Chain A
Amino acid sequence: EVQLVESGGGLVQPGGSLRLSCAASGFTFSSYAMHWVRQAPGKGLEYVSAISSNGGSTYYANSVKGRFTISRDSSKNTLYLQMGSLRAEDMAVYYCARELAVGATKGHLDYWGQGTLVTVSS
């Protein structure tokens, strides 16, 4: 069974940093691109970032470019999102999600975690 479990969310002050993790199981992690998507309370989905299956390509929404860094560790079957210079508008539930097809990076997300809440407030 495919499982994605996010962790690392919490309360952080504006300007601060936080690292999110997503532990993957039930599939060959190194074969799939992975993504981060966020959702502010009561709002819609917003795309954040993606990383290809081999980690060689990364993608970022303009809103987080230069502040967030996506990475993966296939030895630990874990996806990361290093977030810096956090702003109030970054406050959201952050979901990690798996790409649908092996080897592809097309933005088709077939498995999602339960999400982790990031709160940015002083």
Chain B
Amino acid sequence: QSALTQPASVSGSPGQSITISCTGTSSDVGSYDLVSWYQQHPGKAPKLLIYDVSNRPSGVSNRFSGSKSGSTASLTISGLQAEDEADYYCSSYTSSSTSWVFGGGTKLTVL
């Protein structure tokens, strides 16, 4: 199965908001609300930020929010902070393999 499509990089200044898109197909994002978002700092394991498109696990800042429209999911980070600089990945269930698929990842740079 093909990876979900994410922009390779995004950037923003402290205090600003940014949005990362995650484009799939009718076999994955378009048909299932099983979308997750993860943050990964260099050399570290990923951290779950968003599940079921828009829900935050306990302990995750409300600066992180998720949404979906059609086959594109989005992660918005508001009030950017230096520690938000990391790689971000989306994930979705896919019927094409009855498994899951990740996006290619987006590197966020806080200017």
**C-alpha gap A69/B9 in the complex (Å):** 35
Residue of B40, B45, B47, B51 most packed against chain A (CB within 10 A): B45
Residue A46 is within 8 A (CB to CB) of chain B in the complex: yes
Indicate if the CB atoms of A107 and B46 lie closer than 8 Å.
no
Indicate if the CB atoms of A47 and B100 lie closer than 8 Å.
yes
Indicate if the CB atoms of B34 and A106 lie closer than 8 Å.
yes
Residue B38 is within 8 A (CB to CB) of chain A in the complex: yes
Identify whether the interface residues of A are mostly helix, strand, loop, or mixed.
Answer: strand
Indicate if the CB atoms of B45 and A115 lie closer than 8 Å.
yes
Q: Contact residue range for chain B?
A: 20 to 34
Which residues from A are CB-within-8-Å of B105? Answer: 44-45
Which residues from A are CB-within-8-Å of B93? Answer: 106-107
With A47-B100, A95-B45 as given contacts, are A109 and B1 in contact (CB-CB < 8 Å)? Answer: no
Residue A67 is within 8 A (CB to CB) of chain B in the complex: no
| Contact mask for chain B residues 74-90; partner A; CB cutoff 8 A; 1 contact, 0 none | 00000000000001010
Complex A-B, nearest 4 residue pairs according to Cβ-Cβ distance, in ascending order: A112-B45, A108-B51, A44-B105, A107-B100
Residues of chain A touching chain B, judged by Cβ–Cβ distance below 8 Å, are 35, 37, 44-47, 49-50, 59-62, 65, 95, 100, 106-110, 112-115
